[in-house]
Structure 1
Amino acid sequence: MATKRVAVLHSLIPNPPGLAGPDRVPEILLLRRRLWSMKKDALLEAALSRNRRWIVNNQIKNVLLRSPGRTATVRSLQKRFKTFDLQGRALNWLRKYPCCFDTLSGPVGPDGGGGEELRFTFSKRMAALVDEEENVKEASEPAMARRLAKLLMLSRDRRLNVVKLNELKRNFGFPDDYVLRLIPKHPEIFRVINRTGRQNAMEIELLRWDPNLAISAVEAAAIDRGTEPRYVCSLPETWFKTREKFDEFNDATPYVSPYSEDRTESEKRAVGVVHEILSLSLWKKASILKLEHFKREFGLPVRLNLLLLRHPCIFYVSNRLDQCYAIMYVH
């Protein structure tokens, strides 16, 4: 049996020719890589790379916002670099983006008695954008509330754990203080509950179902087209085998709305839920690893990556920077 298993692994994921001995990649690692991969799209991969730089700079922005006087030491940023999945010198990164950050020497400590140390702060242009962002947040609060309500409507129990939701709050455009910002202003829609008293058990619960919000992106597009709800494939005609499977999936059973009261577990429903979650996100993408934390709440399969890889006409899966992103094709 062991010999057969190794033979199967070799047939599925052969090592590159010329590798032998210690340079040979373990088969189980190659199999794992295969399960997270699909045919790559150069434009989408390049977009992910550019987006990664924006994400890191946004994380640095949040560090400064939590620092007194919106300044921090380069040394303190260097200590956080691993949490940003970055290597190298923090100073080099800051100097690469002078439009965002300025570096300066200044005294350490309130009395200046701690000596000189290199610090960094926002550039004038970035400081203006940060101030403008606060105004945008206030204007976007109604949209944030609708997005949060739709996420809760997608969940089985109409409630979501705050700690888990915090992992995806950037994807949905929620600021750090979204709980304090939104919940008190909409007491008829949301409430915060804690059934156990533990700090990590705090949940946001939906109090009122809104039928006007229970319309998915697929259904809204179908209304505009004047057709029945169905997924649309954006791949070129040359992917004929993939498109055949896609058409079979589309035609085998009717579209299942992720907001439907019918909670029957099916692949069509799971695809619909993930598609709607990505539709609600600002960038139409999310980390598969983070989505898997909501398997129980959204009724997702245990091996979510396999579900996504089975539908390349609907989702694009990238393991760019080991983040394992699922990207929805924009229709």
Structure 2
Amino acid sequence: MLGGGIETLGVHRRRQQPWWRWTPQRWLEKVRLKWVKNRGLDHIIDRDTDIKAACLLKDAIAATPTGLLPARSVAPFQKNLGLTIPVLRFLRRYPTLFSEQPHPRFPSLPVFSLAPAALLLHRREQAAFESTLPDDAAHRVARLLMMARSRALPVAALASLRYDLGLPPNFSSALPAARPDLFSLSRRHSDGAPVLSLTDWPEHLAVSALQLRHRDVLSQPSYDDFKRPSASSAAPLAFPMKFPRSYGYMNKVKAWMGDFHRLPYVSPYQDASGLDPESDLMEKHVVGVLHELLSLTIHKKTKRNYLRSLQEELGLPYRFTRVFTRYPGIFYLSLKCKTSTVVLREGYDRGKLVVPHPLALVRSKFYYVMRTGLLYRGKGTSKLVLEEEDLLGEGNSKEGQTDQIAIDTEQQYSDSDEDDVNADNNSEEYYELDVDDEDSDDVGSDEA
């Protein structure tokens, strides 16, 4: 039991009774909110788009038998990588990751191979996959399957989330091999598509990130005992809020969110089939499901269309994505890189992940290598210093270390998480709380 009279942490969906049928329909106050651009989060999305494209291209090159990727074969990757520039130009932009050379048999055909820094980072990423796969990655996927109605998801739907969940390219076979007690791989009867299924219900994993955070807060010695709710009270859990500055002193917004927080919290791992689809409680449950799903990602963000591919299995209502603009204190919806990306605000503080995952730390080194190649071009290899024991060219000099510090400082300055309140002050772009904010982005796999 959690403090504050919270219901059982993880309740098997078949045992949970629909105790919420008495819940009233709609009584939350409607508030008209303006979309406020966040320069820090937009910069993170812009930067991580390049990092993700570099990692997927690196995987594509490493998967070839010869370790060479012909230039004429890169065009089909354009859509899946999410780049705003041609893939060939992207490869040539970062010579510290990708080496261009003539084809061994056809000199007029350029091919790309992995540079020494990319090979080093590839080995570190593979080591991170191997260390996190049995427990951390397996538990992330297990929680996602536990939220699904059938406790199974198509491999194609999981493939689009592979990078965000921190899974290796061969996750569909690696997960059942590493944890046969949790996963099994089968074929769907209707079309023969591969499906990853949950073979057991691990009760200890049926705890949402919001419940864990609430439990940790109550267990802190500094928590005021006079403010600690009694076991008999029904104090609901509150989502962490990080509103833009322009909302800070709006009493109407504060009253609206107070009413929202006072609604009972229905765990994403509980059966919500008894909820009225048009009720406020159902809306809070949808917010909880999306909050939990984003909490499972490595970078606390993902593309909005990846969530649509899970809509039916997660029991999300039609036009569920409107909650991203209805609750700007929980989510940030970015339109960078010609797509819609949803960010969990609480996951970042001043442009940095609050709790960086080991894979996120490895991927941040990709950005350093990419930035060095962009700044120094052909001389970038001699400037690289990833660690003191890394010998990349002549990069273990003090000059190289100074360059790394300068780049890291520039990155930290660029990542400052500040709301661009003055930007678009003259714009009339508003999001109504109950409008349809669907877009027409294509749903596709990010597998290169």
Of the three residues 231, 244, 248, the one matched with 2:259 is 248
Distance 2:304 2:84 in 1: 23
Task: Give 1:295 shift.
Answer: 1.3
Q: Residue type matched to 2:68 in 1?
A: T
Q: CA deviation at 1:260?
A: 1.8
Answer yes or no: is 1:315 the counterpart of 2:358. Answer: no
- Which digits, 9 at most, give the CA deviation of each residue in 1:154-178, with x for residues without a partner? 1112111112121212111111211
User: Post-superposition shift, 1:267?
Assistant: 0.8
d(CA) in 2 for partners of 1:255, 1:164: 27
Whether the 8 Å CA contact 2:173–2:185 is kept in 1: the answer is no
Cα pair distance change 1:77/1:276, threshold 3 Å: same
Whether 1:131 aligns to 2:117 is: no
Measured after TM superposition, the shift of residue 43 of structure 1 is: 0.9
Per the alignment, do residues 56 and 291 of structure 1 end up closer, same or farther by CA in structure 2, a change over 3 Å counting?
A: same
Q: Does 1:181 align with 2:192?
A: no
Bigger mean CA deviation after superposition, 230-239 or 135-144: 230-239
**How far did residue 242 of structure 1 move?**
3.1
The CA distance in 1 between the partners of 2:155 and 2:167, in whole Å, is 12
Distance 1:149 1:103, change over 3 A: same
Number of residue-to-residue matches in the alignment:
288
Is contact 1:246–1:313 with CA below 8 Å preserved after alignment?
A: no
Q: How far off is 1:297 after superposition?
A: 0.7
Q: 1:163 to 1:106 in 2, by over 3 A?
A: closer
Which residue in the other structure is 1:231 paired with? 239
Map of 2:211 onto structure 1: 219
1:261-288 Cα shifts (integer Å, max 9, x gaps): 4443411111100000000001111111
CA contact (8 A) 2:240 2:346 kept: no
Report the residue type matching 1:167 in the other structure.
S
CA–CA distance in structure 1, aligned partners of residues 300 and 98 of structure 2: 28
| 1:71 and 2:52 aligned | no
For the 8 Å contact 1:152–1:206, the answer to whether it is kept is yes
Would the aligned equivalents of 1:105 and 1:117 in 2 still touch at CA under 8 Å? yes
What is the CA–CA distance in structure 1 between the aligned matches of 2:40 and 2:127, rounded to whole Å?
33
Take 1:132 and 1:51, find their aligned partners in 2: how far apart are those partners?
A: 18
Distance 1:82 1:309, change over 3 A: closer
Name the aligned partner's letter for residue 265 of structure 2. Y
Q: TM-score, normalised by structure 1?
A: 0.80
Q: Is the 8 A contact 2:70 2:109 kept in 1?
A: yes
Structure 2 counterparts to residues 1-331 of structure 1, below 5 A: 38-78=35-75, 80-86=77-83, 90-107=87-104, 112=105, 114-141=106-133, 142-196=135-189, 198-200=191-193, 202-226=194-218, 229-235=237-243, 236=245, 237-238=248-249, 240-251=251-262, 253-265=263-275, 266-330=282-346
Contact 1:74 1:90 in 2 (8 A): no
**Which segment is superposed worse, 263-272 or 171-180?**
263-272
Name the SS for the 1:174 alignment partner.
coil
1:158-216 deviation line (CA, Å, top 9, x unaligned): 1111121212121111112112111133222222233416332x222212111211111
Determine if contact 2:52/2:81 at 8 Å carries over to the other structure: no
Output the CA distance in 1 between the equivalents of 2:79 and 2:185.
33
CA drift at 1:81: 3.2
Distance 1:323 1:330 in 2: 22
Moved more, 290-299 or 221-230: 221-230
CA shift in 2, pair 1:83/1:172, >3 Å: closer
Secondary structure of 1:171's aligned partner: helix
Higher relative contact order (CA 8 A, sep 6+): 2
1:45 and 1:131 map into 2 onto residues whose CA distance is 30
Aligned pair in 2 of structure 1 residues 48, 196: CA closer, same or farther (>3 Å)? same
Any idea what SS the aligned residue of 1:233 has?
coil
SS in structure 2 of the partner of residue 277 of structure 1: helix
Call closer, same or farther: CA 1:316–1:87 in 2, change over 3 Å.
Answer: closer
Give the C-alpha shift of residue 116 in structure 1. Answer: 3.5
CA distance in 2, matches of 1:198, 1:261: 28
Q: Structure 1 vs Structure 2: percent identity of aligned residues?
A: 27
Q: CA RMSD for the aligned pairs?
A: 2.1
